[in-house]
Amino acid sequence: MPHSSHRLIPSTSSGRLPNKLPNKLLFSIFGVLIITLSACGGASSAASSGPVTLTFWSWVPNLQPVVDSWNATHPNIQVKFSEVTSGQGGTYAKMFTAIKAKNAPDLGQIEYQFLPTFEGTGGLADISQYIPAGTSSKFVGWTWNQVTQGKAVYAVPQDTGPMALFYRKDLFTKYNISVPTTWAEYADAAAKLHAANPSCYITNFGATDPGWIIGLMWQAGGRWFRVNNNAWTVGINDTASQQVANYWQGLVDQKLVKTDADWSDAWYKDLDNCGSSTWVSAAWGANTIISNAPDTKGDWAVAPMPQWTAGGQVAGNWGGSSTVVFKDSAHPKEAAEFALWLNSTTQPVELMVKGAQLYPALTSELSSPAVNTPSDFYGGQVVNQVFGQVSSQVDTQFQWGPTMDQVFTDMNDALGAAVSGNGTLSQALDTVQTKTVNAMKAAGISVNG
């Protein structure tokens, strides 16, 4: 959840590294070469004697009261929380540096798509020995796949980001526009809205947040990474992803969408006027709009994503994080205990739901009143009922690759250039495909083709 928007980058079903890839792989991470340790070793299973203090880095808003609740009831395991910025160039870069220097915190928040890269550094502790039997059944199934590799457990799931359509119901009513149920109808709505009011646009396509675009391609059936015979197959420019790129290229060319940079001041302002009359976003996006578009209270509503095929029921996913224990923690057992409490216990999960609008990975909470509360801002709509519906429509076969830091950087550059008129979005995917395959091969990672 970077910035005040608590944005998350999408989660997925199975971003694990192949079990038989070489142990020593060279990853280029934010300009720092980190060598995977061939013998990672396991954290000691012995509990620490006497009171311990754990350090914890996370960007979840309003998390300090949750940590305070833990500290008040666990005098022998105190947690020192540091609120950090999110994203590749912020906290992750510091985490990679800290791993290399062997001074990482005890615990940290990592988004699902970057877990394989962190695992590749050897910097995460395998906490499987501290996980009680049956724990996996407490979480949305595909999220547990995200945090495991074979029998190893590298994190505890926290939340997910099923995507839906936020739309300005007041503007749709004013200009007699029906809520689009297909992407063809969405394009028609874009044209009708802009013709009725040239100051209004259906949405903003900044193309500088790869997570959002990947979520759209995920819904369309894009499958960027697969493992076949212990080697990676890369399909960043596959047919489904190209379909999405060409669709949005058409809206950009017709000037039916704005192209402000994601998360810029102009982007936020668009939410508070008709510069973005819709936003295809994740469950956590509800709070982004509340926080940044206060003048539109009562004007927004939520519906399922438009479909590529009429009558379809497919959603994308954008977001999702986990709590990891770093390998150099002197107190891995206690750190794992806190991570489990934070994400699998009713009280802290509901505090995060209320304080940060997280959509939890803990299945018992998905039907709870805390998650399914009518929202005054959304005109009394229980928006999470929509997200609960579409959550089951996310295809769990989407898989993350082992070098997502490089992929996100290259996507940001290539798609941003295309939106600025330097090439097309389709060509940008071709560029990222080539760069990704070359980078993986250069790192010694086995790639098909």
**Type of residue numbered 39:** A
| Better pLDDT: 232 or 23 | 232
Pair (114, 170) in one structural domain? no
pLDDT at 229: 85
Domain that holds residue 58: 26-161+318-391
Pair (228, 286) in one structural domain? yes
Q: What percent of the chain has pLDDT over 70?
A: 88
Q: What is the CATH number of the domain that holds 228?
A: 3.40.190.10
Q: Does 38 score more than 80 pLDDT?
A: no
Pair (263, 249) in one structural domain? yes
Angstrom distance (rounded) from CA 47 to CA 50 = 9
Give the pLDDT band of residue 41 (cuts 50, 70, 90).
very low
Kindly state whether residue 279 falls inside one of the protein's structural domains: yes
Pair (293, 434) in one structural domain? yes
Q: Does 7 score more than 70 pLDDT?
A: no
Instruction: Give the helix/strand (H/E) hosting 29.
Output: strand 26-29
Kindly state whether residue 8 falls inside one of the protein's structural domains: no
Give the pLDDT band of residue 50 (cuts 50, 70, 90).
low
What backbone torsions phi and psi does residue 297 show, to the nearest 5 degrees? Answer: -55, 130
- pLDDT (average), residues 273-298: 94
Pair (311, 334) in one structural domain? no
Give the pLDDT band of residue 13 (cuts 50, 70, 90).
very low
What backbone torsions phi and psi does residue 326 show, to the nearest 5 degrees? Answer: -80, 150
pLDDT at 26: 31
Tokens found for residue 355: 């304080």
Kindly state whether residue 284 falls inside one of the protein's structural domains: yes
- pLDDT (average), residues 397-420: 91
Pair (275, 424) in one structural domain? yes
Q: Which neighbouring-strand residues pair with 403? A: none
Pair (253, 368) in one structural domain? no
Number of domains forming the structure of the chain: 2
Q: Does 208 score more than 90 pLDDT?
A: no
| Distance set, CA 30 to CA 117, 268, 406, 407, 446 (Å) | 12, 28, 8, 12, 22
Q: Does 215 score more than 50 pLDDT?
A: yes
77 three-state secondary structure: strand
pLDDT at 61: 87
Kindly state whether residue 14 falls inside one of the protein's structural domains: no
Pair (295, 382) in one structural domain? no
Q: What percent of the chain has pLDDT over 90?
A: 75
Kindly state whether residue 277 falls inside one of the protein's structural domains: yes
> Where among 391, 408, 433 does a domain terminate?
391
Pair (295, 428) in one structural domain? yes
**Type of residue numbered 304:** P
∠ CA 123-125-126, rounded to 5°? 135
Give the pLDDT band of residue 73 (cuts 50, 70, 90).
very high
Kindly state whether residue 5 falls inside one of the protein's structural domains: no
Write the pLDDT tens digit of every residue in 133-163: 999 999 988 889 889 988 999 999 999 999 9
100 three-state secondary structure: helix
pLDDT at 249: 97
Q: Does 433 score more than 90 pLDDT?
A: yes
Angstrom distance (rounded) from CA 328 to CA 356 = 29
Q: What is the mean pLDDT of the chain?
A: 88
DSSP 8-state class, residue 91: I
Angstrom distance (rounded) from CA 319 to CA 246 = 24
Write the pLDDT tens digit of every residue in 338-377: 999 999 999 999 999 988 888 999 999 998 999 999 999 9
Kindly state whether residue 1 falls inside one of the protein's structural domains: no
Write the pLDDT tens digit of every residue in 82-107: 999 876 557 899 999 999 999 999 99
Give the pLDDT band of residue 250 (cuts 50, 70, 90).
very high
Kindly state whether residue 220 falls inside one of the protein's structural domains: yes
- pLDDT (average), residues 310-324: 95
Sign, CA dihedral 53-54-59-61, equals negative
Pair (98, 223) in one structural domain? no
Pair (242, 279) in one structural domain? yes
Pair (72, 218) in one structural domain? no
Q: Does 191 score more than 60 pLDDT?
A: yes
pLDDT at 89: 57
pLDDT at 32: 34
Q: Does 36 score more than 90 pLDDT?
A: no
